[in-house]
Amino acid sequence: MNQSSKDGPPGWGDEKLARYEKQVRFTPLGRDGQVRLLQSSAVIVGCGALGTVQANTLARAGVGRLRIIDRDFIELDNLQRQVLYSEQDLGQPKAVTACQKIQEINSQVDCDPVVTDVDFTNIESLIDSYDVVLDGTDNFETRFLINDACVKMEIPWVYGGCLGCEGQTMTIRPGITACLNCLMLDGPPPPGTTATCDSAGILASIINLIASIQSLEAIKLLSGNAEAISRHLQVFDLWGHRHQQIDMTDLRDRVDCPTCKQKQFQWLSGDLAGHTAILCGRNAVQLSFPERPMLDLARLAERLAPLGEVELNPFLLRFQVGEMTITLFPDSRAIINGTEDLAIAKRLYSQYIGA
């Protein structure tokens, strides 16, 4: 007997839907919405605090296909807010660990981990054919890049950012709503001019709130409930009990946005891109080289072994040099812990890995 449902595609009978029963009972979503969710896909860019909450929520809700992109590995001070990770995961790449947890939570979800730094050379191929993009990043450079790519490719995306106990979020639907550049016509705040999570700290509650809203906005969109999507920039100060909703309905009409009106994609073209970054609150620097060929980490491990302590797994190589640690990824990208000085980081890289 065919166990398939009355309405959904074959194989999506009550058995497969049983785990979503409480969600299906919520009338605006319903059975049709659930079936749509199972057929839908989302990319999570950055799987730290916001990203782990998004991945957890979307996987449990039954979004059929997730791609999780993150450039980093798990550290002890992540565990205070990054809900998919535990002590045993320290040192592992976030994207890979997150997908392993997702498979344990919901084996119906197809989860694709990508350990890389999203930049202008790879973003289009990374989000191509996905239905929505969720912002789990911690920097405006990547957000403006996501905005460029999503506006160009007409993929909706959900912005979110948190600092201290404050956060904000906005859903961007290319061609329909204002985009991030409409909101910030002068571009991102210059480095060093705003507080970072290093100086302001960050509390898990604001992360959970903002990422929950982002996830719900994605679920509305993916389940065929686009009319329920917010047209506001929502701003929260949880510590001070303040909530502002700023209406963005007319913003796109009022400004001559270079991105969504003039279709100039400066971030995507690489004109504004940087290949190095001082990582937020980490005493670390990232160096990346998008044009370089892939590294043979096993061979490099052999070469470095006589010089210091080397740790190697399929996803990364870690090398201790005095007080500093170099973590190398196969795409030749490195995160150098123990310094915020770009010159020192570059010198170490060329000394041990190659110029």
Footprint of Zn ion (CB under 5 A): 179, 181-182, 257, 259-260
Kindly list the distances between the CA atom of residue 31 and the CA atoms of 23, 55, 351, in Å, as whole numbers in the listed order: 9, 22, 59
Residue ranges of E strands in 123-212 = 132-135, 157-163, 166-172
Smallest gap from residue 176 Cβ to Zn ion (A): 11
Smallest gap from residue 273 Cβ to Zn ion (A): 19
**Opening angle at CA 171, ends 100 and 117, nearest 5:** 45
**Rounded-to-integer distance, Cα 69 and Cα 171, Å:** 20
Question: Closest CB to Zn ion among 63 and 180?
Answer: 180
Question: Closest CB to Zn ion among 253 and 291?
Answer: 253
Alpha helices in 62-122 (DSSP H): 94-105
Question: Closest CB to Zn ion among 176 and 200?
Answer: 176
Question: Closest CB to Zn ion among 92 and 266?
Answer: 266
Neighbours of 289 (CB within 10 A): 16
**Rounded-to-integer distance, Cα 120 and Cα 35, Å:** 34
Question: Closest CB to Zn ion among 78 and 181?
Answer: 181
**Under DSSP, is residue 234 helix (H, G, I), strand (E, B) or coil?**
strand
Question: Closest CB to Zn ion among 150 and 348?
Answer: 150
Question: Closest CB to Zn ion among 180 and 310?
Answer: 180
Smallest gap from residue 127 Cβ to Zn ion (A): 18
Tokens of residue 244, six digits: 């502002």
Alpha helices in 14-112 (DSSP H): 14-17, 21-24, 30-38, 49-61, 94-105
What string of H, E and C letters represents the secondary structure of 281-339? CCCEEEECCCCCCCCCHHHHHHHHHHHCCEEEECCEEEEEECCEEEEECCCCCEEEECC
* 10 contact partners, CB below 8 Å, separation of at least 6: 2, 4
Kindly list the distances between the CA atom of residue 164 and the CA atoms of 189, 241, 260, in Å, as whole numbers in the listed order: 17, 14, 31
Question: Closest CB to Zn ion among 82 and 181?
Answer: 181
